[in-house]
Structure 1
Amino acid sequence: MKRTLCAVGLCWALAASAAAAQPEAATTAEPALRDAVEQAVWPGDIVQAADRYLSAYPTGAGAAAVQSLRDRAAGSWRLLRSSEVRLYRSAFAAQDPALEQDLREAALGDRAAAVRLAQASRAYDEAHGTQRYVGWLQFAALLGDERASYALALHFRRTGQPVLAAHYEALALALGYQPAVALDNVRK
């Protein structure tokens, strides 16, 4: 009988110490999960980190902010998975530390940041034979940037792809872009 009481007492003591340790672990885990959300750059990673945070702390101090970031990143992730955008995870790796903030903003759906990244990608494309310039412009166009759409129309017109040029010109006009009367001597 004494053995049973001793075992029960030991179980209660272990349970109490485990319960006391859980809040301490929770207070250190919540900031770590929130940091993971705030430091992720690829939209899919932001969504997954936000889901982990929200499943662990649905009413946590940062739940509303994390949900907002998750929603914005989910929209970007949906666009990046479409066949219309040729921009991949490797494009979200910062080659230049000055571009890190733009990468994060673009991952959250900032079309101006995507346009800035397109401009910055031109030199990288020439050196590495990639199409990131076009990919960033496609992403910005789908985010609703009319100038990016028109830049794509001009790019595809110059490269002899009239169907794509017409598509992006129509998108630019639908987004409210007002083209100049005459830009060049190339016919559509």
Structure 2
Amino acid sequence: MYKIKLVASAFFLITAYTSCTQTQKPTEVIATDSTSVAVTVPIELKDVNSDLAYDQYLHLKNVLVLSDSTQAQSAAKELSGTLVKISGSENSTKLAYEMASEVSLSKQRTIFTTLSVELITMFKKAEIASGSMFVQYCPMANDGEGGYWLASETEIRNPYYGDEMLNCGEVKETISKK
């Protein structure tokens, strides 16, 4: 019985790891002479505070990709200062503030999961002037429970694992101007 469990566990881990090593292709590529460059079309939200909050969220996501808990604290503090100015974002503000107070990268990433779900909901309701944002998902995050986040490009840069599983995930949804 022990050997069966061991083999099943090994199979699951190998399957999960190989499924998370696939990379996403950028949505738009511009050819210049003999090289191609991936292009990110920046999103612009009509509400100034929402636009700033999205930029600050992306910065927070990016420092989590780098596994830098000190910068994550600073980025979360800035984000909480902007979110407090947005009506209906009280819970998101609280989560960002909580994250700014946390020194453990693991706990920051756990809070980031809930914060991301809150902000995805908020940004889906926001008025978008131009561009797109991408809802991405990693099934391995949070001990296999999964985790969502927002990105400005389709290329996966996983904030839950950093270099360990940088490309684990997939684009689940695109949020664009309605």
Q: TM-score range by the shorter chain?
A: under 0.3
Query: Hey, which of these two has a bigger chunk of helix by percent?
Result: 1
Higher relative contact order (CA 8 A, sep 6+): 2
TM (normalized to structure 1)? 0.26
Larger Rg: 1
